[in-house]
Amino acid sequence: MLTRRVLAMGAVLLVAACTGELPEDDPDPAISATLPTVTPPPAEFPGKTWKRNPSGDWSALDATLERTGSTCVAVIKDGELVHDAYWNGGSEQGRHRVYSITKSLTSLLVGMAVDEGTLTLDGTASEQVDEWRVGPAAEVTVQDLLSMTSGRHWDEATDGQMIRAEADKTTYSVKLPQDHQPGTRWVYDNSAVQALESVLDDVDETDDVADIAQDRLLDPLGMRDTVWARDQSGNALTFSGVESTCLDLARVGHLMLNRGTWSGQQLVSADYVRQATSPSSQLNAAYGLLWWVNGKGRIVEVLRQAGYASDKPPYDGQLAPDVPDDAFWAYGYGDQYVAVVPSEGVVAVRLGGRPASPDDLTFEGFTRGVLQGVE
């Protein structure tokens, strides 16, 4: 019997040598049963604190980060904290407003609802938003809101009014007019994302999006130093407003690195993570579902809405051509970053003041600096 198995294995190897591939049918199932199986080590997840394993050369990155007003950086490699540092008044538990990184967390809450079947990406948002059931907004889907292609009214004055002046930001956002057919233009629209608060508060019996976030995301990840702010009317701020730390936000990045799994529990499906971190429209290949991605094609950045003086025109290319294509980011005003590079097993977070120039700390520059430090 052993001789027959050896001869059969020899035949398999001969086919592979001649063709460069194994035959589709195993000639003897017993052979497969005798071959060793290689099981990858289980992913490492933090408990109350990250497991520290200091390594790498961080002198160049740290000098740049300190110079550009950063308060903290944290780098995770294969589930271990290999580097963290603090400057300019920052500390491990010192919270910093993370601005539009909040949008990426909102995306995860939507993904959880999609996984449960209480929302569908291609379902119309008017199923939850009563004010949109009649009129042109009735065609806006949940995915339109997530991908910044909703066609909702946007201009700088309206955007600023919602952000700085309105006490009930959800109602203000929902009542804005519908200007364009969904899917026909890409605009970084804070009000459209705040309208997702009205969508999310209808899909859970708590009817409170901040509580949903605490129960479904922050608590399971152990984000003890993070708070989700509300407006003056009590609405969760889904477009901005979360306050957090580098070490807490690294947990979000590590969740995404592990395709929505956290310590054996699937918090959000791998399928949703894939969709959220892939280009969501040809209108901007750098944007997924409230996550920035490294797709190739027409690229639209948001330098003015990140706090800088002027935008660059849309261009054909890639957001970060010198880092791996699978990189993706949560990104907030003033260059707040959560960078995830799945092919390298790396997550990195930067929080702090806005650098003087948009060229000081780009998606590519920050991520490349992290990868060089790890090496």
Domain ranges in the chain? 2-34, 59-129+200-374
Determine the pLDDT at residue 375: 85
Determine the pLDDT at residue 42: 78
- The secondary structure of the chain, three-state, reads CHHHHHHHHHHHHHHHHHHCCCCCCCCCHHHHHHCCCCCCCCCCCCCCCCCECCCCCCHHHHHHHHHCCEEEEEEEECCEEEEEEECCCCCCCCCEECCCHHHHHHHHHHHHHHHHCCCCCCCEHHHCCHHHCCCHHHHCEHHHHHCCCCCECCCHHHHHHHHHCCCCHHHHHHCCCECCCCCCCCCCCHHHHHCHHHHHCCCCCCCCHHHHHHHHHHHHHCCCCCECCECCCCCECCCCCCEECHHHHHHHHHHHHCCCEECCEECCCHHHHHHHCCCCCCCCCCECCCCEECCEEEECCCCCCCCCCCCCCCEEEECCCCCCCCCEEEEECCCEEEEEEHHHCEEEEEEECCCCCCCCCCHHHHHHHHHHHHC
Summarize pLDDT for 5-21 with one digit per residue, the tens: 434 444 434 434 444 44
Fold of 59-129+200-374: Beta-lactamase (3.40.710)
Q: Is the pTM of this model over 0.85?
A: yes
Determine the pLDDT at residue 228: 98
pLDDT in tens, the chain (375 residues): 444 443 444 443 443 444 444 444 444 444 444 555 555 667 999 999 999 999 999 999 999 999 999 999 999 999 999 999 999 999 999 999 999 999 999 999 999 999 999 999 999 999 999 999 999 999 999 999 999 999 999 999 999 999 999 999 999 999 999 999 999 999 999 999 999 999 999 887 777 999 999 999 999 999 999 999 999 999 999 999 999 999 999 999 999 999 999 999 999 999 999 999 999 999 999 999 999 999 999 999 999 999 999 999 999 999 999 999 999 999 999 999 999 999 999 999 999 999 999 999 999 999 999 999 998
Determine the pLDDT at residue 31: 41
